[in-house]
């Protein structure tokens, strides 16, 4: 007979964008005792940083007259993936997406008030929550509201508690979890365990396992936070209940570390991109004309040292400034003048508080006004 420090009906590992909905949905479905284990002291995880949430045929889309269908999105997704992904899983996610929007909006404080085509899709399926300016606060709002609702429903939170390994019973079924909290071992028994942990991005050993031929030394990995190191994958793999997942690389580039203005400039078709030999290697307008924004990044990955230069003359620069165009959703969000460290700070604070100049709130072309000075 296993001895546990505490027991629960349903144990959720991770209080992020998957764990919070899972715990609350379990409560709403009638579970008496639900417990969340979270290694950090803050809920939301990487999900708190997201600007947009995917859905198709949702109520907000229908209200705006957007007629994109699930079949269209599925066909385009599978075409982009070359049918190398789990088609049934993709179809289920697409079919359930509108219901997820409805479920989230049933919670007080969540209202998707902006829909756009972003994140590598030609369709207007990206739902955002925006408050007072163009920067989406979607992930942080959802995390805060679901945390509140979980607590109201009686979900127990074990914060600062890191999952270590799954406990198996005599029939080789999952019966609980071994975790650590402040250096102490905690054995938690559960009738069901839901693994809702993050990805593997901060685990160098796992990156080498899945991408043995890749050199990421000059690649900034999105959301590579220290707490995203594949704990869930390793636990599931250890008890033989998970095969190796299909993983692919999506390159978004070129990228300049810590320089938002330079990043936006390099993402414009007015710039000529040259490799180390001074040769163009890609059609630069793909950033704004093609729905898959990874194409330039993929081309750059094939260049010597994965590096390039951006070339522009003064006349073109000043013509661009005079036009005052906002060419992408990225500029619409960050062109207002945003703290360069936004991605790091957004994990622990509200994104709408990172506007560096409040008078520019809502003006996605504001960065162009001082572009020449910034480049100097």
Segments of 207-279 assigned E as strands? 272-274
| Residue recorded with tokens 């994104």 | 351
Beta strands 126-128; 114-116: pairing state: antiparallel
Structure tokens, 161: 């508690």
Instruction: Tell me the pLDDT tens digit for each residue of 293-317.
Output: 678 888 998 899 888 999 999 999 9
Cβ-Cβ contacts under 8 Å for 51 (sequence gap 6 or more)? 118, 128, 135, 136, 138, 139, 333, 351
Helix axes 19-28, 138-153, angle to 10 degrees: 40
Q: Find out whether 228 and 199 touch, Cβ atoms under 8 Å.
A: yes
As a whole number of angstroms, the distance between CA 260 and CA 223 comes to 16
All domains of the chain in start order, with CATH: 6-194 (3.50.50.60), 260-375 (no CATH)
Question: Whole-prediction pTM value?
Answer: 0.86
- Position 331 scores a pLDDT of 82
Instruction: Tell me the pLDDT tens digit for each residue of 47-87.
Output: 988 889 999 999 999 999 999 999 999 998 888 788 888 89
Helix H or strand E encompassing 175? strand 174-181
- Position 255 scores a pLDDT of 82
* Ramachandran assignment for 278, one of left (phi > 0), alpha (psi -120 to 50 degrees), beta (any other): left
- Position 85 scores a pLDDT of 84
Secondary structure in 3-state letters for 265-314: HHCCCCCEEECCCCCECCCCCHHHHCCCCCHHHHHHHCCHHHCCEEECCH
Q: Find out whether 10 and 35 touch, Cβ atoms under 8 Å.
A: yes
* Terminal Cα-to-Cα distance of the chain (whole angstroms): 71
- Position 258 scores a pLDDT of 73
pLDDT under 70: residue ranges of the chain: 1, 119-121, 132-134, 290-293, 338-358
- Position 287 scores a pLDDT of 79
């Amino acid at each position: 007979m296993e001895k546990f420090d505490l027991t629960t009906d349903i144990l959720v590992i991770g209080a992020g964008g998957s764990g919070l909905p899972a715990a609350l949905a379990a409560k709403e479905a009638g579970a008496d005792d639900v417990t969340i284990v979270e290694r950090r002291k803050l809920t939301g995880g990487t999900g708190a940083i997201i600007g947009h949430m995917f859905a198709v045929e949702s109520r907000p889309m229908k209200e705006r007259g957007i007629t994109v269908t699930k079949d269209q999105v599925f066909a385009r997704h599978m075409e982009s993936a070359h049918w190398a992904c789990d088609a049934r899983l993709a179809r289920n996610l697409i079919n359930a997406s509108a219901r997820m929007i409805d479920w989230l909006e049933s919670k007080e404080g969540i209202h998707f008030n902006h829909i756009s085509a972003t994140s590598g899709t030609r369709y207007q399926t990206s739902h955002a929550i925006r408050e007072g300016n163009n920067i989406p606060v979607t992930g942080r709002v959802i995390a805060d509201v679901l945390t509140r609702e979980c607590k109201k429903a009686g979900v127990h939170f074990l914060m600062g508690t890191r999952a270590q390994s799954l406990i198996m019973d005599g029939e080789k079924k999952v019966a609980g979890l071994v975790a650590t909290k402040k250096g102490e071992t905690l054995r938690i028994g559960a009738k069901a365990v839901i693994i809702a942990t993050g990805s593997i991005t901060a685990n160098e050993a796992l990156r080498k396992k899945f991408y043995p031929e890749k050199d990421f030394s000059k690649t900034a990995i999105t959301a590579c936070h220290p707490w995203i190191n594949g704990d869930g994958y390793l636990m599931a793999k250890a008890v033989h209940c998970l095969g190796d997942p299909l993983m692919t690389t999506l390159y978004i580039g070129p990228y300049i570390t810590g320089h938002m203005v330079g990043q936006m400039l390099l993402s414009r078709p007015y710039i000529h991109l040259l490799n180390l030999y001074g040769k163009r290697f890609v059609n630069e307008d793909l950033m704004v004309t093609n729905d898959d924004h990874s194409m330039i990044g993929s081309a750059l990955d094939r260049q010597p040292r994965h590096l390039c230069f951006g070339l522009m003359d003064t006349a073109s620069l000043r013509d661009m400034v005079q036009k005052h165009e906002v060419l992408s959703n990225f500029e619409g969000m960050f062109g207002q003048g945003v703290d360069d460290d936004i991605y790091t700070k957004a994990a622990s604070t509200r994104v709408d508080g990172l506007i560096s100049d409040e008078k520019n709130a809502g003006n996605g072309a504001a960065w162009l006004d001082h572009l020449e000075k910034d480049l100097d």
